[in-house]
Structures are given as C-alpha cells and as structure tokens.
Chain A
Amino acid sequence: MTDVIFIILCTIGSLATLVAAIGVLRMPDFYTRLSVTVKASTIGSGLLLVSAALYFSVPDVTNRAVAIVLFLILTAPVAAHMIGRAAYMGRTKLWKESQLDELEGMYDEDHHLRSEQPKKGEQEEDEKKADPQP
C-alpha cells in the first residue's frame, strides 16, 4: 500500500517537472513562461521531496524534507513576483495576442506607483516627454 502511494507521488512529480520544462520551452512570452514555471516546478519538486520524506519516515529526515517543501512554497512566489516586476520595469514586451495590460500607465519613470490612474491627456503628455523627437 505504501509502495502504491510512493509510485503515484514520484510519477506525478516527474511529470509535473517535465510539463514545466516543456512550458518554459514552448510558451510564446516571458510572462506566460514565468506563470508556467513557478507552479509546475513547485509541485514537481515538492511531491518528490514528500515522497522522500515518506520513504525514510524517520523524524529528522521528514522534518528536513518538510522544511524544504515549506521553504519552496514560501519563496517561489516572492522570487517570481520580483523577477516579473523587474521585467515589467525593463519594458519586456507582451505577447502580440495579449488582450489586457492592467499595469499600463500605473508606474512613473522612477518605478513608483502613481497615486491615481492617469487621465487620457496626462498619458499623452507623458508619451511626448518620453520621446522628444517629433
């Protein structure tokens, strides 16, 4: 019975890792790649570590594995948010078929959040300031 649980966990973990790799290779855009990577890789490594914890089933080893899983779950979204923010500030282009960019015009040049959403006229002025060439 333990073997069955173990086989299921290892298989799902390996397949989730493979899905993450295929996603990071095939997705068309940086942001879609980021969203694929974080979720699938956390599930993949997390399930493999949980299977290791179940296999040894000694308290100290289980504690260590659970600590690694908790650390991954805590830190992966933080790292993804920081790299996504840096990429958006660096003007990484969206995919050409993306429908909506909710952050457009919400940040000024110094990477600070605007207090209010800019009106139409201000936004055009900002664009004129950004490139002075006629």
Chain B
Amino acid sequence: MTLYYLLYFFALPVNCIAMILVFIRIYKGPTVFDRIVALDLLITMGIGSIAIYSIITKQPLFLDVAMILALIGFLSTVAFSYYLEKRKDND
C-alpha cells in the first residue's frame, strides 16, 4: 500500500515538476540546439512516466508505447542534428 502512496504522491509529481522545468528551457532556449536537447530530455522523461503509470494501473501493455517513444525520440534527435549540420548559417 505504501508503494502506491509513493508512486502517486512522490514519483509522478516529481516527474511533472521536472517536465515543467524542461518546458521553461524549451521556451527560453537561446539557440535551436538547446531546444532540441530539452525535447530529447522531455521524451526520456515521458518514458519514465509511462513506466510509473504502467505500475500504478498494473497494465504492462503501456511498456510498448514506451518502446516506440524511445525509438521516435532517438530518430528525431538524429534527424534534427543531421539537417542542422548541413545548414550553412545557424543563429
């Protein structure tokens, strides 16, 4: 029973606060690279939140979503960096 209290009142709120902080960095970020790194971190945090949620609801099917999300996050970061390196003038 204490496990559910821990997950509901500690792990999920801490993840939500962390996501809000990362959103502040996405809003502020001086260059486009800062925003990409923050977006990658946000996707990784989403994977952790999905793991917590699958424990709470006792549904291991959510882990499939986490796997797809990890794939998409890696691919998006690689694609962004590939095309930004091709670009001539970065601001």
Interface contact A68-B67, CB-CB below 8 Å: yes
Number of interface residues of A (CB under 8 A): 52
The answer for the CA separation of A90 and B80 in the assembled complex, in Å, is 13
Interface contact A14-B15, CB-CB below 8 Å: yes
Main secondary structure of the interface of B (DSSP, over half): helix
Least distance between B12 CB and chain A CB atoms (Å): 9
Main secondary structure of the interface of A (DSSP, over half): helix
Given A24-B38, A25-B25, A92-B33, A41 and B44 touching (CB < 8 A)? yes
Interface contact B45-A17, CB-CB below 8 Å: yes
The answer for the CA separation of A45 and B13 in the assembled complex, in Å, is 15
Interface contact B64-A64, CB-CB below 8 Å: yes
The answer for the CA separation of A45 and B36 in the assembled complex, in Å, is 19
Query: Residues of A with Cβ closer than 8 Å to B?
Result: 3, 6-7, 10-11, 13-15, 17-18, 20-22, 24-25, 30, 33-34, 37, 41-42, 44-45, 48-49, 51-52, 55-56, 58, 60-61, 64-65, 67-68, 71-72, 75-76, 78-79, 82-83, 85-87, 89-92, 111
Q: Could you list 11 examples of A-B contacts with CB < 8 Å? A: A21-B22, A33-B34, A49-B66, A52-B63, A58-B60, A61-B63, A71-B71, A75-B74, A83-B40, A83-B77, A92-B90
